[in-house]
């Protein structure tokens, strides 16, 4: 199995660490370099970037997430998006989370101090929703081990009890189809499987949920007419989810526009088949070597295995880059990987 979009990438190692950070396509690198050069020379005249690139990235993510661009807000980090949601909950509200969730999805709720934060095992999350649960927050794919959440069950349980839903798609968007409109909120760090530069993140908000979400970070970019709202309080917030925009990191979004276009050109369905096939090959190879990867029913692009953290230095010396998380060696496969990458990692682990 050969890489997808091969001409866009130039890895000089066996890079299996997309769960930490995706490789940038050449087209994204070129876009960032072009803007950086323009800002260095003053050719732009404003020292900023293109609002057309922001709009293109917003629209592209909306298409990938299955929602209109008007439902997408731009930001720089998942924790800020989650903090916005946490700030809008009333004191005493119960937030239900999966045990072992990534801290960016957990901490904004925990640090408030006046919310009731409760945890349940991922497989039992839907059954743990109660009548007084205000919000269920879960990652579509777990960062630590690649397990997939039963989002349909969570959504049904939340609806039955009148709870809102928040899905973190940071470890899934780009290889796993996303129906963002099925949840009140989604948050996505786009520098992983969407291969955008760091400083790119997306929040989606349903029209109904937008009414109760307070734009506590509102600046001039949140105005219906940003260029008429530079001074004093913003009088007319954007009617769309743009009211929740952070001030954009233009360099990041110039690159993001190009990276998201590549994902659209190849197609999430094609990427899903590619990534999960490579992960399955790696999983089978680990079993053949006597190791027991974490089971991921439904198929995942992420493979985590205990008992191998002591081999990380051997892997790095061989030019194989994975990550160590919570006692697991974690490999993540993406469109720029091939069967040769899988076999190279297995050969190192076998001692070859």
CATH 3.90.1150.10 in the chain, residues? 6-16+267-349
CATH architecture assignment, domain 6-16+267-349: Alpha-Beta Complex (3.90)
Phi, psi (deg, nearest 5) at residue 268: -65, -35
pLDDT of residue 299 exceeding 80: yes
Q: DSSP character for 180? A: G
Helix (H) or strand (E) holding 277: helix 268-288
Backbone phi and psi for residue 292, each to the nearest 5 degrees, phi listed first: -125, 90
For the chain, what is the mean pLDDT? 96
Give residues with Cβ within 8 angstroms of 209, minimum separation 6: 164, 184, 185
The CATH 3.40.640.10 portion of the chain extends over: 29-265
Assigned fold of 29-265: 3.40.640
Specify whether the CB–CB gap between 303 and 283 falls below 8 A: yes
- Alpha-carbon distance of 11 to 19, in angstroms, equals 16
Band of residue 228 on the pLDDT scale cut at 50, 70, 90 = confident
Whether 7 shows a pLDDT value over 60: the answer reads: yes
**3-class DSSP assignment, residue 141:** strand
Q: How confident is the model at residue 2 (pLDDT cuts 50, 70, 90)?
A: very high
pLDDT tens-digit readout, 26-84: 999 999 999 999 999 887 767 689 999 999 999 999 999 999 999 999 999 999 999 99
Number of H helices, E strands in the chain: 10, 12
Distance CA 15, CA 3 (A): 12
Q: Is 86 exposed, middle or buried (0-12, 13-18, 19+ CB in 10 A)?
A: buried
Give the C-alpha separation, 23 to 252, whole Å.
14
- Which pLDDT score is estimated for 50? 92
Q: How far apart are the first and last CA of the chain?
A: 22
Give the pLDDT confidence score for residue 43 in this predicted structure. Answer: 77
- Cα three-residue angle 102-196-56, rounded to 5 degrees: 120
Tell me how far apart the alpha carbons of residues 243 and 22 are, in angstroms, rounded to a whole number: 29
Q: What is the pTM of this model?
A: 0.96
Residues in contact with 93: Cβ distance below 8 Å, sequence separation at least 6, in sequence order: 115, 116, 134, 135
Token pair listed for 178: 């996303």
The least confident of 11-25, 32-46, 180-194, 292-306 is 32-46
Q: Which residues contact 89 (CB under 8 A, 6 or more apart)?
A: 95, 109, 112, 115, 134, 135
Is the confidence at residue 352, as pLDDT, over 70? no
């Amino acid at each position: 199995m050969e890489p997808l979009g091969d001409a866009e990438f130039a890895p000089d190692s066996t890079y299996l660490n997309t769960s930490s950070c995706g490789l940038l396509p050449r087209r994204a690198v070129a876009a960032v370099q072009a803007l950086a050069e323009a800002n260095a020379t003053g050719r732009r005249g404003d020292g900023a970037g293109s609002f057309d690139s922001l709009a293109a990235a917003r629209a592209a993510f909306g298409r990938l997430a299955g929602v209109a661009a008007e439902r997408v807000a731009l930001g720089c980090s998942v924790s800020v998006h989650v903090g916005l949601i946490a700030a809008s909950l009333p004191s005493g509200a119960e937030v239900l989370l999966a045990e072992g969730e990534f801290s960016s999805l957990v901490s904004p709720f925990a640090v408030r101090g006046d919310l009731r934060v409760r945890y349940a095992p991922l497989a039992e999350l839907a059954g743990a929703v109660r009548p007084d649960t205000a919000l269920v927050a879960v990652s579509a794919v777990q960062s630590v081990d690649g397990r997939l959440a039963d989002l349909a069950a969570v959504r049904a349980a939340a609806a039955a009890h009148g709870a809102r839903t928040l899905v973190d798609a940071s470890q899934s968007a780009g290889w796993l189809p996303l129906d963002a409109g099925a949840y009140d909120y989604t948050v996505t760090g786009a520098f992983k499987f969407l291969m955008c530069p760091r400083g790119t993140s997306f929040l989606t908000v349903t029209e109904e949920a937008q009414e109760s979400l307070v734009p506590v970070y509102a600046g001039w970019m949140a105005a219906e007419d940003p260029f008429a709202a530079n001074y004093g309080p913003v009088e007319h917030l954007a009617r769309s989810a743009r009211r929740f925009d952070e001030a954009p990191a233009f360099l990041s979004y110039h690159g993001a526009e190009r990276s998201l276009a590549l994902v659209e050109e190849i197609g999430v369905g094609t990427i899903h088949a590619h990534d999960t096939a490579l992960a399955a090959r790696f999983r089978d190879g680990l079993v053949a070597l006597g190791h027991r990867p974490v089971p991921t029913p439904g198929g995942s692009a992420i493979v985590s295995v205990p008992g191998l953290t002591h081999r990380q230095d051997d892997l790095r010396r061989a030019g194989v880059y994975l990550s160590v998380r919570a006692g697991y060696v974690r490999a993540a496969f993406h469109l720029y990987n091939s069967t040769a990458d899988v076999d190279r990692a297995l050969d190192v682990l076998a001692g070859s």
